[in-house]
A and B are shown apart, each in its own frame.
Chain A
Amino acid sequence: MLQIILILVIFIALIIPMGKYLYHIAVDQHTFADPVFNRVDNAVYRICGIEKKEMNWKQYAIAMLVTNVIMVLVGYLILRIQALPILNPNGIGGMEPSLSFNTIISFMTNTNLQHYSGESGLSYLSQMMVIIFMMFASAATGFSVAMAFVRGLAGKTKSMGNFYVDLIRITTRVLLPLSLLIGLVLVSQGVPQNLSANVTVQTIAGKYQDIAMGPIAALESIKHIGTNGGGFLGANSSAPFENPNVITNIIEMLSMMLLPGSCVIAFGHMVRNRKKETKKGKEKKVLIGSEAKPIFAVMLIILIMGVIVCFAAEQAGNPILKQIGLNQSMGNMEGKEVRFGIAQSALFTTVTTAFTTGSINNMHDTLTPLGGVVPLMNMMLNVVFGGKGVGLMNMILYVILTVFICGLMVGRTPEYLSKKIEGKEMKLTALGIIIHPLLILAFSALAIAVPAGLAGISNPGYHGLTQVIYEYASSAANNGSGFEGLGDNTYFWNITTGLVMFFGRYLSIIIQLAIAGSLMIKQPVSESIGTLKTDTRTFGISLFMVILIIAALTFFPAMVLGPISEHLTLWN
Chain B
Amino acid sequence: MNKGIKTKFITKDILKSSIIGAFTKLNPRYMMKNPVMFVVEIGFAVTLLLCFFPNIFGDEGNNLRLYNGIVAVILLITVLFANFAEGVAEGRGKAQAQSLKKTQKDMQSRILSDDGRETVMSASMLKKGDIVLVKMGELIPNDGEVIEGIASVDESAITGESAPVLKENGGDFASVTGGTTVVSDWLKIRITSNPGESFLDKMIALVEGASRKKTPNEIALNTLLVGLTIIFLIVIVTLYPIAVYSGVRLQISTLIALTVCLIPTTIGGLLSAIGIAGMDRVTRFNVIALSGKAVEVCGDVDTMILDKTGTITYGNRMAAKFIPVGNASEQELIRYAVISSLKDDTPEGKSVVELGEHLSGLHQEINPGMEFMEFTAQTRMSGVDLSDGTRIRKGASDAIQKYVQELGGFIPKDLEAQVNEVAKLGGTPLTVCVGNRILGVIYLKDTIKSGLVERFARLRAIGIKTIMCTGDNPLTAATIAQEAGVDSFIAECKPEDKIALIKAEQSEGKIVAMTGDGTNDAPALAQANVGIAMNSGTSAAKEAANMVDLDSDPTKILDVVEIGKQLLITRGSLTTFSIANDVAKYFAIIPAMFMAVIPQMKVLNIMGLSTSYSAILSALIFNAIIIPCLIPLAMKGVKYKPQRSENMLSHNMLIYGLGGIIAPFIGIKVIDLIISPLLALLGL
Using a CB–CB distance below 8 Å, which chain A residues touch chain B?
401, 404-414, 418, 421-423, 425-427, 429-431, 433-434, 437-438, 441-442, 444-446, 448-449, 462, 464-465, 523-526, 528-533, 536, 538-539, 541-542, 545-546, 549-550, 553-554, 556-558, 560-561, 564-565, 568-569, 572
Contacts and interface: CB of A to CB of B under 8 A. Distances in A.
B238 A565 contact: no
Nearest to A538: B650
Of the candidates A426, A434, A541, A557, the one having the most CB atoms from chain B within 10 angstroms of its own CB is A557
Interface stretch (B15-23, B43-51, B322-330, B508-516): B508-516
B467 interface: no
Contacts of B219: 422-423
Given A423-B219, A542-B657, A553-B586, A525 B510 contact: yes
A408 B646 contact: no
A430 B572 contact: no
Contacts of B412: none
Nearest to B580: A549
Of the candidates A423, A437, A546, the one having the most CB atoms from chain B within 10 angstroms of its own CB is A423
15 contacts: A408-B217, A408-B572, A411-B640, A423-B220, A426-B227, A430-B230, A441-B235, A445-B240, A523-B509, A529-B461, A530-B462, A538-B650, A557-B590, A558-B239, A565-B598
Nearest to B223: A426
Contacts of B452: none
Interface of B: 216-217, 219-221, 223-224, 226-228, 230-232, 234-235, 237-246, 248, 296, 299-300, 302, 461-465, 508-511, 564-566, 568-569, 571-573, 575-576, 579-580, 582-583, 586, 590, 594, 598, 600-601, 603-604, 640, 644-646, 648-650, 652-653, 656-657
Given A539-B649, A542-B649, A550 B216 contact: no
Q: Which 4 A-B pairs have the closest CB atoms?
A: A408-B572, A430-B227, A528-B463, A411-B565
Contact of B239 (A404, A434, A557): A557
Contacts of B640: 411
B582 A549 contact: yes
A121 B558 CA distance: 73
Contacts of B232: 554
Nearest to B232: A554
Contacts of B240: 445
A569 B650 contact: no
Contacts of A445: 237-238, 240-242
A296 to B, nearest CB: 19
B648 A412 contact: no
B594 A411 contact: no
Q: Binding site of B, secondary structure by majority: helix, strand, loop or mixed? A: helix
Contact of B234 (A423, A437, A525, A536): A437
Nearest to B459: A530
A545 B579 CA distance: 10
Contacts of A437: 231, 234-235
A410 B576 CA distance: 12
Contact of A553 (B224, B582, B594, B600): B582
B661 to A, nearest CB: 8
Contacts of A427: 223, 227
A147 B41 CA distance: 45
A526 B504 CA distance: 12
B648 A529 contact: no
B241 A411 contact: no
A426 B465 CA distance: 29
A399 to B, nearest CB: 14
B649 A413 contact: no
B572 A406 contact: yes
A556 B236 CA distance: 11
B648 A411 contact: yes
A526 B509 contact: yes
Contacts of B579: 405, 546, 549-550
B90 to A, nearest CB: 23
A438 B586 CA distance: 19
Of the candidates B217, B573, B603, the one having the most CB atoms from chain A within 10 angstroms of its own CB is B217
Given A413-B296, A423-B220, A561 B646 contact: no
B576 A409 contact: yes
A568 B580 contact: no
Nearest to B640: A411
Contact of B645 (A438, A524, A530, A560): A530
Contacts of B603: 568
Contacts of A560: 590, 594, 601, 604
Contact of A434 (B230, B242, B572, B580): B230
A408 B224 CA distance: 13
A434 B565 contact: no
Contact of B462 (A441, A529, A533, A538): A529
A504 to B, nearest CB: 15
Given A408-B568, A524-B509, A556 B231 contact: no
Contacts of A421: 220
Nearest to B576: A405
Contacts of A557: 235, 239, 242, 586, 590
A407 B572 contact: yes
A152 B358 CA distance: 66
A561 B246 contact: yes
B246 A465 contact: yes
A429 B221 CA distance: 12
B565 A409 contact: no
B657 A526 contact: no
B46 to A, nearest CB: 20
B223 A526 contact: no
A35 B582 CA distance: 57
A569 B465 CA distance: 63
Given A412-B300, A531-B645, A572 B600 contact: yes
A553 B583 contact: yes
B370 to A, nearest CB: 57
Contacts of A408: 217, 221, 568-569, 571-573, 575
B245 A409 contact: no
A448 B243 CA distance: 10
A411 B564 CA distance: 8
Nearest to A410: B645
Contact of B220 (A404, A554, A556): A404
A410 B464 contact: no
Contacts of A438: 234
A526 B508 contact: yes
Contact of B569 (A411, A524, A529, A553): A411
B329 to A, nearest CB: 51
A529 B644 contact: yes
A418 B569 contact: no
Nearest to B224: A426
A526 B576 contact: no
B227 A434 contact: yes
B645 A532 contact: yes
A549 B509 contact: no
Given A445-B241, A549-B580, A530 B569 contact: no
A565 B583 contact: no
A448 B242 contact: yes
A346 to B, nearest CB: 24
A444 B296 CA distance: 43
B239 A526 contact: no
A415 B246 CA distance: 45
Nearest to B642: A530
A444 B650 CA distance: 39
Given A530-B464, A565-B600, 19 more contacts: A401-B224, A411-B462, A412-B300, A430-B223, A430-B228, A433-B227, A441-B235, A444-B242, A448-B244, A528-B465, A529-B644, A530-B645, A545-B580, A557-B239, A557-B586, A558-B239, A560-B594, A561-B245, A565-B246
Nearest to B604: A560
Contacts of A539: 649
Contacts of A531: 463, 645
A572 B603 CA distance: 11
B282 to A, nearest CB: 15
A132 to B, nearest CB: 37
